[in-house]
Structures are given as C-alpha cells and as structure tokens.
Structure 1
Amino acid sequence: MRVARAARRFVPVLVAVLGLSMAVGAAAASAHASLDDASPRAGAVLEGPPVEVVLDFDSEVVQQLTGLRLLDATGADVLLNAPLDTPDRTQVVVPLRNPEDVPAGVYVVRYRVTSVDSHVMHGAFTFQVGAAVRDQRAVLESVGAGGASPALEWVIGALRLVALAGFSLFVGTGVLAAVAAGASGGMSVRQRLHLTHTGWAAVAIAAVSTVLLLAAQAAHSAGFGLGGIADVSAWSDAAPARFGIALLVRLVLVAFCGLVVGGVGLAGGAAWRATFAVLVVCLAVTFGLSGHPGTGRLPALGLLLDGFHLLAAALWVGGLGVVLLGRRTWLGGGEADAGAEADGGAGTDAGAETDAGAETDAAAMRLVTLLPYAVAVLVLTGAAQSWRLVRSVSALDGTTFGGVFVGKMAISVLVVVVVIAASAAIRRSTLLPARRLLVAHAVLGVVAMGVSAGLVGLNPDERGPLQPAAVSVQQGTLSVSLVVTPAVEGANDFHLVVDESDAVTPTAEARLSISRPEAGISEVSIPLAPDGPNHYSAYGVSIPQAGTWQVTIEVDRADGTTATLSTSVRIAG
C-alpha cells in the first residue's frame, strides 16, 4: 500500500516531465541541419579578404557546440575570433581576427555543427582571395576536409542500441506483470521475483547507457575522439542543448522506473498501471528527440509515428526477452514448479500456488500472441517514417540511409514469417518448436533494433558540403578558369578568371553562355560584369535544372582578337 500511495503522488510529477519532454520535442521539429549557404560562398573569388565567415543552415544548430577553422593552402590556421551569439539559431557567424593580414590565395573553411537532435554535421569548402587562376579543389584535397571519429560514432550507435534494449526490457517486464496480475490466480513468488530481477536489470542498463550516451554525444559534438568521453567541460557544454536536456530527463524518468519495479507485486492495481503507462510514454518521447522524427515534412506526424514505432518495438523485443530470460518460469515451468511447491507445503496454499503458476503461463502465452500485432505496427510505422523522410524511391538509390532502410525492411519480412509460425505453434501447444521460434524471433528483433539504432545516426538527406563546379580550359597561351557556386539547381554565382602569359594589358571583355541541348534548352547568355583585372562575375544566375550544361566562353583580347573556348559543368539537383 505504501508503494501504491507513493505512485499516486508521483504521477503528477511524471505528467509534468512528459510535458517538458513534449515541449523539447516541439522545439526540435526542424532538426538535422544541412548547410544551405555561406559567405564567402563555396568557390567564391574575392578581390579582398572577408571580415567574417557566415554559415547558413536549413534548421537550428547548437551555437555553443559549433567549431570552425579557416586554413590557408599550407594547412596553417588563420586566426579567428569566437563565434558571435546571433538571434538567428540557423546561422553561425565567425569574425576574422586580423582580416587585413590575410594575403591572396586559396582558403579552406572547415566546420562542425551539432543540430538540435544531437547529430553532428561536418563539412568543408574553399574560396580564394585574388583573381589569379588557382585550383581550389586541389587545395581542398591537400589540406583535407576533416571529419568525425569513426570509433566514437560506432560507440554512440552501440550505446543507442543498449539504451533501447534497457527500455524494451522495462516495457516487457511491466506489460507481462500487468497481464499476469490480472489473471485469476495472480503471480507466484517465483514469477514475481523474476519480474523484479529483470526490471532492476532494465533500470540499470537504461541508467548506465544514458549517462555514457550523454558523455559520448558531448565528446562527438566537441570534435573529440574516444578520449573526450571523460572531458567534463564537454558535458557542461552539451547539457543545455536540447538533446542534452532530453537525456537528462530520461535519467530522471529511469529513477522513477525503480518505483514501478519495486512495486511489481501491485501490478494489478490502477495506480501502478497508470504510473507505468506514463513512464513508458515519457521515455518514448525522450528517444524520439534524439533521432529523425522531428525532421523533414510533417514533423508532428513524425513524432507520433516514432512513438508508436518505439512502443511496438519495445513490446515485441522486451516481451520476448522477459519470457525467454525466464523460460522455465513462463514456458511450461510454472506448473511443474508449482506442483513441487504443492507437494512440500500446505494443501490450500500450495493449490493456490499451482493455479497461479498455470494462469501465469497462460498470461505469458497471451502476451506472445499479441506480438504479431506489435510487429504489424512496427513495420507500418517504420516504413511510413522512412518514406516521410526520403520522399521518393529515387532518394533511396545510392545512399547509405537507403541501403540500411532496405535491409531493415527485408528483416521485417523475415520477422513477419517467424511471428506467424511462432503464433501457429503456440496455438497448437507445440511447446518445443514454439521456444525455438521465439528464440529466432528474439534474435531477429535484436538485429532489427540494431539496424534502427544505425538509421538514427544516418542523415536521410545526404547532401554533401557545398562545393563549386570548377573547370579550366586553355587555348594557346590563354587560360580561363570558371567557377560556378554552389553548382546546384537554382541561384548560382559565376566567376570567370582569364590568364594569358603573354598579355601585358587586361582583356577587353568576356562573354559567357550556357545550354543543355539534350533537354531542349538553347543557348542562354550570362551577363558578366568586371570584378577586377581579368576577373568577371555574375551573381544570382538561375539554373533551372540539374545535369551537365555546355558552356561557351568568348574572350576579347587586348590585341583585338577574340578567343572562343568550350567546356561543360555539372549542376547537382
């Protein structure tokens, strides 16, 4: 009764925690940032050095977890000031400390940002100061684009899987306890002990994995390797971020889970069941905040789908896990054990214990027969969620996210077959085949959960960092370099730099036109304006579609002759 009274007191607290979690979830509705634009733009050719580097993302980033470096062609750092605290959380602004000391040359911008759903995005692009013809792509390859620690990313994926396993085990324990407690004979002492042990194991797994996940995510966001997990300063930077708040809320909820586990014998009561239900929903929300549900189209629908998906997975894997971990208790062992107790104890109590054991076995079987419905919800919501993110079959082709998603759907087909076979075996009371099928069932469940944890760490929108299309063509002593940035469908900037080794005076004029005959697009003239000696530019030129475009360049030389050069550029979608 004390536990029941305590549960009633804590339910309002848990409801408040759920509200906080939902508020964080609503704020994270535009997570998983990708770089949309930059100043200087990728591939830009500037007459003088910039005073600041500005990065614009398509959604909010955690500004205190931003890292940016500006490197020259030798890989040496250009001194920068601290990022500015701007009201626009989709923008990062980093001033140069001494812009007047930046000489002409090619520069590499390396950035690392953390989106509000904890995903760390790395990238790099180049720009140049001065109009001389330079190979920006070669400089980027030489200096390097940087990147994350693969080992740390694997650790984060493993910790996500362990956290999901702990949550699932807790859900399975609670659901089985509620079903068994509702049976006519209640739970036997042995079965109550088993549920208590698995419940405490679930709490321990969830608590430890959540703490380690927060530390690993903090190190990842700070650009550290595995050794950075122990860096307390990184923890303090990550804790105020939305994903940090979600993980801390999860820790509080896990502490409340101990209340439910300690009172598992009261699983038949309304207060216990209400507390368990609120805890499970709150925990599911915190998991949703660290993945893709708040990204892409219809983020509210994404959060709803993710909630049902996670709860179905937890019931499936957790329910199977609890039954198989206590297979002697739940799969045919209950009656024998209860009978042994009956032989050694008083008649009335032993008989009640026998009935309780038999009823609890039946309750476990009823739980197992619910699993096909959980798997159906799991498959449907998982497919809908992934489709919401990728939007088309073509988006799955050639992407890591698409490959993992297709693999997960193949596993889902196997799961459906095994579920049907296991349910049929249980209905026929063929216990040994049922046990084997349930083991196969559980193995497939763990594999599917591992694939899901991997999908959480992947970006469904695999756009690479902004990189220009850069080409150079030569005719005799005349060399022309063309840079189109960002070289994607829509608005683009054109930079044309002319270099002629024998020329004493600048070129008189340059003209540029593009065409795409295979798409029925005839030659379109691009108006160029002088942007310095032998440097011509056009800004905000709209390119209507992706593909390979033919380019014609005409240069009026100082001696009165005109040179015509042809090349092509690739525009991404």
Structure 2
Amino acid sequence: MAAEPLTTARGRTTARRLLLVLAALLTALLAGAAPASAHAALLRTDPGQGAVVFTAPSKVLLTFSEGVLLSADSVRVLDPSGKQVQQGAAQHAGGATDTATVRLRPDLGNGTYTVAWKAVSADTHPVAGAWTFSVGAPSKTSAAVPEQDAGGGTAGVLYGIGRYLAYGGFALLVGSCAFLSVCWPRGARLRVMRRLAVGGWAAMAAATLALLLLRGPYVNGTGLGGVFDLGAVRSVIDTKPGAALLCRLLLLAAAAVYLSVLFGAEFTRGAWAGRRNLAIGLALGGAVIAVGLAATWSLAEHASVGIQPGVAVPLDVLHLLAMAVWLGGLAALLTALYRTAGIEREAVRRFSRTAFGCVCVLAATGIYQSWRQVGSWHALATTSYGRLLIAKVALVAVVLGAAYVSRRWTGRLADQDVPEEEPEPVAASVEVTSSDPARAAQLARQRAALATARARRRRDADPARAGLRRSVLAEAAVAVLVLAVATALSGTEPGRAVEETATAGATPSAVPASGGPVFATIPFDTGGANGKGTASVHIDPARTGSNELHLTIADQAGNPVDVPEVDLSFTLRSRGVGPLPVKLGHDGTGVWTAPSVQLPMAGQWQLSLTVRTSDIDEVTETKNVAIG
C-alpha cells in the first residue's frame, strides 16, 4: 500500500517540474511576441522624407502596402514652431483604403515641417511614424514629435497576454465541449469536467473584455490611463476589430446558455431517447457558436487581408476549429486521466479518431495558409513569420510523436467502470446514529475519501493507463507552446508582405515604380572644416525621357550654402548604362538646377554626387533612385 502514494507523489513532482519549465518557455515566447509587428508598411510619401520643395504643397499624401483604418488625428503636420497646420481630418485619397491624406493651410511659409502619422493596418495591428520635408530650404524646427508607442509599452504586453488567453480559452471551451459531447458524454456528469469547460468560457470572456478595454491604449500608444475612457471604447467599437470583440462577447453569452443545457440534469440524467434528440440540438447549436467565435478572428486578422480572402477566411475558421477541438480535447482527456476515477477505453479511442481528423484538417488548411502568408522558400528562412512557422511545425511534429505513443497505450487499456458522479463529501450516504452533526459530517468525509482512493487504485492498477497519462501530459505540455507560437504568428507580419514591401522599396522616402517625383536626401562629410552637410535632390517626374532636377546643399544647421564644386551623374548598372553626367546651373545660394536630364530607361539608377568644400576636401556619395 505504501508504493502507491510514492508513485503518485513522483508523478506529481514530475508534472510540477514540467509545468515550471513550460511556464518559463511560455513567458519567453510571449515576451518575444510583444509588441506585435506592423503589417501595413509605409511605401511612399508626397512630399518625400527630407525633400525640399520650392512650392508649398496643398496636402500631404501617404501610401501603404495594404489598407489602413484612419482616425481624425491620424496625420498631423507641424510647422517649424511646432504649430499644427493641417486642415480637417485625415481621409483616404480617392477612396483608396491604402492611402491617407490631409489638406494643409494655403499660407505655409518656408522652413522644415514635421509629419506625424498613425494608423491601424487592415489586420488590426497599429503602425505609426514621422518624417520631415522642407519648403524653400531646410530650417531649424522646434516641433516635438509626440511619442507614439503604438502596439508597444505596457498596453502592448498586456494586449499580447490577452490575445493568448483568448486563444487558450477558445480552445478549452470548444475542445472540452466537443470531447464531452462526442467522445465521453458520461463525463458531463463529473464536476471537474464541467469546471474545465466553464473555466475556458470564463478565461475567454475575461480576455475579450480586457482586449476591448486595452484596444484604445494599444492602438494609440497612450498608456494604461485610457483603459476606462468610455469615449475611446466607443471609438474602438466603431472599428472592425472592436466590432469583432463585441460580437465575441455576444456569442459568449449564447455559449453560457449552451453550457447550462449541456450540464443540466435533463441532458446528463434524462432518458436516452430524450437525450439523443437534445444532443442533436446541442451539437448544431454548439457548432454555430464555435464557428461564430472562430470567425471573430478570421474576419478581422490575417485571413481577411491579402490574396484570396474569400477562400482564406472559411479555411482559417476550419483551422481554428480543428486546433480548438484537438488541443482543447487534449486538455479534457488529460483532466479525465488525472482527476477522475477512470475513463472508458472507447472514449479514448473516439478522441484519438477525432484528433486524427483534426490533424488532417490542420495539415490541409495549414499548407494553404503557409503558401498564402509566406509566399516563397526565401521568406520561410529569412522572415520572422517564416521562422515562427518552422518552430510551430516542429512543435506540432513533437506533439504528433507523443500522440503516436498515446495511441499505442490506448490499445492496451483495460475497460473500467466509471462512477456516475464524483463522491459528494457532504451528501455521502453514511449510517451514523450519532446525535453529533459534526461527527456525522466527519465520518461522511472519511468514507468519501476512502471511496475516491479505492476508485483511483482501480484506475492506476492498469499500467497502460499510467503510460497513457504520461504521454498525454507530454502532448498537452507541448500543445501549450504550439498555442503560444500560433498567437505570436497572428501578431507577426507575414513573409509575403515583408518581401512585397522590400520589392517595392518600402521606406518613407521610397518612390513608386510607376514614376513620380523623387526626393532624395544625401548626407556628406568631406573631412575638412565645415565639410559636413546635406544634399537634397528633387527629380520630376522621375520617368524615362526628360526630367527636371533641383539640388540644394545645406550645412549642419540646415542653412543653404555654396560650395566650390558639385558634380552629379546617373548610372544604370543592371543595363551597363552610364555614368551620365548632369550639367548643373547655379540658381541661388546653395541651389543648383538642371532643366533637362535625359534618362533613357526605367530602373534603379545610381545617383553619384561629388561635393568639394575646399581645394583638397572632397567626397563622393551614392544613392539609388527609382525611375519609372
């Protein structure tokens, strides 16, 4: 008899150690996943970063790699003194959701202007940034760019944790309900199994409510002070991600009704004929709720953005449901093996078959999603999304290995009788004639404890069952990490988007391949006295044929200055063209122009700029510019 407690103690110690290691790995994953990576990259701006324009623009235009959601203050323009000079709210240019524009005051003077912007990408992740341009010539500026820690800070960390808890609660709720409805209906009578499903519901509800409150500070980078700002909450609800969170809360209210029926006396203790009809209704209702909950992610995140959204969204819903039924069912099976008196072999086999089907669905939908989100073998190896995907596949392979061991143990299980209900210490049947109620309750608890111990000894008498518990524990432990990596993936920019952005030359000063004015800023240092400065080059329209070029040389303070000599040429290395020298005419202090620069081909031209500040101090700098 002494051996059994020793074995149990060792098993509990092993489980505790595994949980500690798991918690450490999970913390590292969550810490590395926050803040979420930006998914909408700024491709180009008009005016460009560091550009010097000779006529004050009437508006500022930003173009992104995907659609963005704007607020009234998404784009702010500050003059050299720090005053805002934009007129009206930021809007999409011509209705194009991948743009943001705001009108400027018509009386702008010369000097350097600062543009601060923020937006939310179509897959719900916030982006922000700032750049400067100058009218006439660069100048000193006292404009202070507001701190925009969009998606970061304490709010970003808490938002990432909330996302993980929401995914985990969803898996636990859907998986445990599917397990109790399909694989082990008798388990719905056990209090510990009911608590598992209700715990998943509570975790998901609490996480969703927290996400709704944190959404405003997370997007705006305003800190936790705005968590209970009702105006910010109302603004969040008006957006697609906010509406998705609100719909999730409403679906969770329906899920609460579903749980009350699933665990009600009519289903758990009713006649089989009545229970069968009720089970069909519960299955249909539960499936609708589960699909709706999964859709609150699919319709608001990666699947809804990019190529083939009409195919990607339903497949993503299937992927999430398969994940939840498999991983949540695994948690339910682990609970049944460790916390109940026993589970029938047939129930374990049903779950094994169900899990196999889920894995097949996950593999099919996962292959499609990997192609859609990664796009190339190169992106798989070089992007954060690709590396996380490799880690997820490796972890899933480990889970499948443990599942294979579990299937072998399942074949060796011996069937055992499972009690209809867990022993109730207070209501236990005892034959006590003592008039002392406390003594009667004590005896009842003792008998209940003995009954539970006997049931567990019968359960543990089967060595296959003990082996199954260990392998399922290993499966569940790695599954928690799979869920963490999946959460990190949902907050990481897809590899396809990264490569498309890189191909487009996505920097705030990049130029569209189809042509358009080029604004390039080239810092230089000739090494001599007063040898540091900045050259600003403006090429219009930056297309094949004739182009107008303006060059401004400024000192470290941003004031235009003349230099003894400045030369400029273009080379198209991919075609072996050039260098083509540019004849510059002096057009004022620090300003040179070329009215007709002939560039015969489209492509990435290398602009070479030579600046001489004294008889011996000279430097040549290069910069690539796109000519459409």
Instruction: Compute the TM-score of the two structures, normalised by the length of structure 2.
Output: 0.67
Match 1:281 to one of 276, 285, 291: 291
CA contact (8 A) 1:42 1:127 kept: yes
| Counterpart amino acid of residue 322 in structure 1 | A
Match 1:521 to one of 572, 576, 592: 576
* Residue in 2 that maps onto 1:466: 508
- 2:227 counterpart of 1:223: no
Change (3 A) 1:527 1:59: farther
Query: Following TM superposition, by how much is the alpha carbon of 1:120 offset from its aligned partner in structure 2, in angstroms?
Result: 0.6
The equivalences for 1:15-94 within 5 A come to: 32-64=39-71, 67-71=74-78, 76-85=82-91, 88=95, 89-94=97-102
Q: Which has the larger radius of gyration?
A: 2
| Partner Cα distance (1:58, 1:122) in 2 | 14
- 2:410 counterpart of 1:426: yes
CA contact (8 A) 2:606 2:625 kept: no
| Partner Cα distance (1:144, 1:45) in 2 | 23
Query: Following TM superposition, by how much is the alpha carbon of 1:213 offset from its aligned partner in structure 2, in angstroms?
Result: 0.9
* Residue in 1 that maps onto 2:622: 568
Could you list the per-position Cα deviations for residues 316-345 of structure 1 after superposition, in whole angstroms to 9, with x for gaps in the alignment? 111011222333566xx23xxxxxxxxxxx
- 2:103 counterpart of 1:95: yes
Change (3 A) 1:256 1:51: same
CA contact (8 A) 1:471 1:483 kept: yes
Give the match's secondary structure for 1:128.
Answer: strand
Give the match's secondary structure for 2:304.
Answer: coil
- 2:132 counterpart of 1:126: yes
| Partner Cα distance (2:302, 2:290) in 1 | 20
Match 2:395 to one of 408, 411, 414: 411
| Partner Cα distance (1:48, 1:536) in 2 | 15
* Residue in 1 that maps onto 2:32: none
- 2:131 counterpart of 1:147: no
Give the match's secondary structure for 1:466.
Answer: coil
Change (3 A) 1:48 1:215: same
* Residue in 2 that maps onto 1:166: 169
Change (3 A) 1:362 1:125: same
Change (3 A) 1:231 1:77: same
**Any stretches of 5+ residues in structure 2 without a counterpart?**
1-37, 268-274, 414-463, 511-519
- 2:552 counterpart of 1:497: yes
Give the match's secondary structure for 1:110.
Answer: strand
Match 2:260 to one of 250, 259, 262: 262
Query: Following TM superposition, by how much is the alpha carbon of 1:288 offset from its aligned partner in structure 2, in angstroms?
Result: 1.0
Change (3 A) 1:263 1:516: same
CA contact (8 A) 2:75 2:101 kept: no
Change (3 A) 1:262 1:216: same
Query: Following TM superposition, by how much is the alpha carbon of 1:439 offset from its aligned partner in structure 2, in angstroms?
Result: 1.2
Change (3 A) 1:120 1:474: closer
* Residue in 2 that maps onto 1:110: 116
CA contact (8 A) 1:110 1:145 kept: no
| Partner Cα distance (2:472, 2:549) in 1 | 62
* Residue in 2 that maps onto 1:296: 306
Q: CA RMSD, aligned part only?
A: 4.3
Give the match's secondary structure for 1:269.
Answer: helix
Change (3 A) 1:422 1:58: same
CA contact (8 A) 1:247 1:286 kept: yes
Change (3 A) 1:170 1:144: closer
* Residue in 2 that maps onto 1:337: none
CA contact (8 A) 2:48 2:509 kept: no
Instruction: Compute the TM-score of the two structures, normalised by the length of structure 1.
Output: 0.73
| Partner Cα distance (1:65, 1:442) in 2 | 46
| Partner Cα distance (2:247, 2:586) in 1 | 55
Change (3 A) 1:437 1:473: same
| Partner Cα distance (1:572, 1:50) in 2 | 22
| Counterpart amino acid of residue 569 in structure 1 | K
| Partner Cα distance (2:346, 2:215) in 1 | 43
CA contact (8 A) 1:110 1:125 kept: yes
What is the total number of aligned residue pairs between the two structures? 494
**Any stretches of 5+ residues in structure 1 without a counterpart?**
1-30, 335-356, 558-562
Change (3 A) 1:306 1:545: farther
Change (3 A) 1:197 1:505: closer
| Partner Cα distance (2:260, 2:561) in 1 | 88
Could you list the per-position Cα deviations for residues 454-487 of structure 1 after superposition, in whole angstroms to 9, with x for gaps in the alignment? 111122234564136532457799998544689x
Query: Following TM superposition, by how much is the alpha carbon of 1:210 offset from its aligned partner in structure 2, in angstroms?
Result: 1.0
| More off after superposition, 223-232 vs 81-90 | 81-90
CA contact (8 A) 2:44 2:507 kept: no
Change (3 A) 1:442 1:499: closer
| Partner Cα distance (1:79, 1:540) in 2 | 37
CA contact (8 A) 1:32 1:292 kept: no
